[in-house]
Chains A and B, each alone.
Chain A
């Protein structure tokens, strides 16, 4: 049986890939994942990847038990509940907020990749974005260890003082 961590890892990998369907079978347990709806369109715009997690994770719940082994059934049920809890987009316990009014930039310059995206692991000193005000580019750090579960601002958007920018599941 796969561990919750391993399932999460698979979800992440599939989420980032172009794979639509994924099936994994071992020791009497089977995991099926499917991307549904607008997943592809969502992937084209990395800053709004967050909603994609929900459909993928719902499919994780389709873990089927082909054997009537009680123990395995129990395990898979437990796994289902845990993974649903751990990866839900709304499941966060910390918000990174903007310390000033300014423009939100997700990357250090237009040619670079975003500092972080949904699923990125962060440490307290990981730079997650820049907020620019009056040509001062303020690198915002995560301030907590954990995982980004939601990106709340678009690149180039004007953000207010105290406005939440990211949701983080701390560890």
Chain B
């Protein structure tokens, strides 16, 4: 958002009991009084209620719960993540816009958020149901200096960030299903879609998409998904406000990312395994060549899946179809 508008909110927020004159605002922000007035009008569109009294000035009456670039950025504690933020009420897919912006040169840390996606998608172009005001539909543009084969680690990193934030907010056990789905009560409440533009040896940019079902009630989730998809509200009975949740996720992601770039994957691996779904339990694996029951041993130093092979020895997998809900015979 424009720094001026952010500072205007700051000034008004410091003085909620008294009126602050248009002249004072104009002086402090070093803009004309009519420019102040224009910024006020923009803030009102975002749901800020601002009272203006002749000869007294302005006073902020209420802050919006509404999500917008302004409301999310105000109070956001990050240095670079979300500094460039694009919000849309309705969009086909935040992922598509993020790719477009990235190709046009959008900076590292650009965030795209929507209240609703009409064509949200997951892997293999599977649709992702993204209802208006029910969840977080967000994509982040990152430009890490990493070789492409390390990119998947950022998906696992993102999953640990989501799990951490949710665990703080909810008094409920939750799991990460390898590599990145967040499960509560065996049902998926959040998914991550990481996409990559890379050359042979370097990443041009990545787009990490986060879909999180927050406030869905039963009727909001298609019936055919009831056995495997849910929302935070349905699973915990808690209504979490979306705007602060976005801010917390961004605020938690930034230092985790910085630490990973410095220290590598080891701390992420430890964190991930704390949340690992079905750890040391039996899962069923199918690859291009074979199919077998395995024990899920954890993740490898690079984030790959570690399982027992048919002879009981550890095997590292990067790609397989896995039945996580398989019951051992």
Q: Which residues of A contact B (CB under 8 A)?
A: 97, 99-103, 108-110, 132-139, 141, 143, 156-158, 161
Pick from B123, B151, B318: contact of A101, CB under 8 Å: B318
Interface flags for B196-207 (1: CB within 8 Å of A; 0: not) read: 111111000000
- A-B contacts besides A100-B318, A101-B149, A143-B199, 5 pairs, CB < 8 Å: A134-B155, A134-B304, A135-B179, A136-B151, A136-B152
Q: A135 vs B318: C-alpha distance in the bound complex, in angstroms?
A: 8
In whole angstroms, how far apart are the Cα atoms of A93 and B156 in the complex? 38
Question: What residues on B are CB-neighbors of A134 within 8 Å?
Answer: 152, 155-156, 178-179, 303-305, 318-319
Which residues of B are found within 8 Å of A138, using beta-carbon distances? 148, 151, 196, 198
A97 to B178, alpha carbons, bound, how many Å?
A: 27
Contact of A133 among B125, B289, B318 (CB under 8 A): B318
From B149, B178, B287, B303, A99 is in contact (CB under 8 Å) with B149
Question: 8 A-B contacts, Cβ less than 8 Å apart?
Answer: A99-B148, A99-B200, A100-B149, A101-B318, A133-B152, A133-B318, A158-B289, A158-B318
The residues of B that contact A110 with a CB separation of less than 8 Å are: 124
Given A134-B303, A158-B287, decide whether A100 and B199 contact each other with a Cβ distance below 8 A.
no
Pair B149/A132 contact, Cβ less than 8 Å = no
- B residues near A (Cβ < 8 Å) are 123-125, 147-149, 151-152, 155-156, 178-180, 194-201, 287-289, 303-305, 318-319
A100, A103, A156, A158: which contacts B148 (Cβ < 8 A)? A100
Q: Which residue of chain A has its CB nearest to the CB of B305?
A: A134
Q: Which residue of A lies closest to B194 (CB)?
A: A136
**Of listed A97, A136, A139, A156, residue having the most chain B CB within 10 A:** A136
Residues of A within 8 A of B123 (CB): 135, 137
Smallest Cβ distance from B95 to chain A, in angstroms?
A: 11
Q: Which residue of B lies closest to A97 (CB)?
A: B200
Q: How far is the CB of A26 from chain B (nearest CB, A)?
A: 46
